[in-house]
Structure 1
Amino acid sequence: MDRPFVPLGRPRAERADAARNREQLLATARAMVAETGVEKVTMDGLAERAGLGKGTVYRRFGTRAGIFHALLDEDEHAFQEHVMSGPPPLGPGADPLDRLIAYGRARTAYLADHLELVRASLDRNGPAPAEGASTLTRLHIRMLLGLARPGVADLDTLALQLTAALEGPVMLFLSAPRPTSRPGPPAADRLGDSWEALVERICGRSA
């Protein structure tokens, strides 16, 4: 019950040349994002920078949004590894309530760091994503709630609501214009503090 996450869907088998091309394209795309920003990355520009044919890029990613989806997929795998086998309190070995708080803070920081990639990964011509990483968040929260035993009968629904409380407001808050009259701490820190207060209240821990 301490490994609720599942792989995000890489192919089971991949030819050696295809694997090399994938790693080269992802490394190049990541470098381009760091140098010029998400908005300047294009399919043709990626092909030229990586020294590969345009057909290779289009077969690998399909659309421009596919580039950023692939980058997020890699980062999600790394995030999951920290949760499953990293040091406590995010990883195993800590009190389940402490892990739940740590997860919310880490996930908020992750979403803040990846906001532009998330935006760019949404294909305007495709359906709105209904599953994905938030499903993995829900499974992990549900597992930790089962260990923390907050005294709520329907833990499945509570996990669903906490997932929405964690992932939904982050995207809405961080995409809104920043207030200019009140500098305060970074948005991710403020949202992390709110998450901690919410979880402690639900699970009955006194402040």
Structure 2
Amino acid sequence: MADERPKERADAARNRRAILEATAALLAEHGADALTMDRVAAAAGVGKGTIFHRFGNRAGLLHEMIAETTFALMDAVRTGPPPLGPGAPADARLLAFFDAFVRMMTDNIEVTVAYLQGPPHPQAAEIHEFWDEHIAALLREARPDLDAEVVGRLLFGALGAAMVPQMARAGETERLLGAVRELVESVLIIR
């Protein structure tokens, strides 16, 4: 799942940057619902075919938009410093993961919303499997009495609720972070 890209020609790299920058600008200005390939092509100064050739479809373009932050978070989970990376207790790592994931979503909320509205990218299943396994492993360590797979998926699934983008768009990121932290902490408490 490594994010390894072949060397690009200068014009291809320039077009790629223009397309990604235009997409980000359109999302910031008009939101996820207004993003069309025609608008992206016009804003980037390229033909629509260039976008389809480069990214395959809208889902591929949006995947590319979130890939950098997604793969950076995955790397931090695998090899980064504690508490997000190895070396911290499971409960601290779980809290750090949810904090980081919510921040990643809210910092890129329009991209996230647009991405979630479309068909899943081919790598999406592999990425979600990574998150599921990570959360379940930490839950098994912190709370061996739980059904870690189901509880983990329920916790992670909460981030897909409609209120997440609503709160992010309303500037309530800190409140959202606090609520997610409380939810995770409630699972970590042994009764």
1:45 to 39, 42, 49: 39
TM-score (norm 1): 0.69
2:30 to 31, 36, 55: 36
The answer as to 2:107 corresponding to 1:107 is no
Partner residue, 2:77: 83
Partner residue, 2:18: 24
Partner residue, 2:111: 117
In structure 2, how many angstroms separate the alpha carbons of the residues matched to 1:176 and 1:98?
25
2:138 to 139, 144, 154: 144
Does the CA-based 8 Å contact 1:108-1:192 persist in structure 2? no
Q: CA deviation at 1:39?
A: 2.9
Q: Max radius of gyration: which structure?
A: 1
Letter in 2 for 1:95: P
Q: CA deviation at 1:139?
A: 2.0
Higher relative contact order (CA 8 A, sep 6+): 1
In structure 2, how many angstroms separate the alpha carbons of the residues matched to 1:150 and 1:198?
8
Partner residue, 2:55: 61
Change (3 A) 1:135 1:176: same
Partner residue, 1:190: 179
Q: CA deviation at 1:198?
A: 0.6
Does the CA-based 8 Å contact 2:90-2:142 persist in structure 1? no
Does the CA-based 8 Å contact 1:111-1:171 persist in structure 2? no
Unaligned runs of 5+ in 1: 1-5
Change (3 A) 1:170 1:123: closer
TM-score (norm 2): 0.74
Aligned residue pair count: 184
Change (3 A) 1:175 1:90: closer
Structure 1 residues 8-64: Cα deviation after superposition (integer angstroms, max 9, x where no partner): xx5653543444432332233223322333233321222222222221012223333
SS in 2 for 1:131: helix
Q: CA deviation at 1:136?
A: 1.3
In structure 2, how many angstroms separate the alpha carbons of the residues matched to 1:193 and 1:170?
13
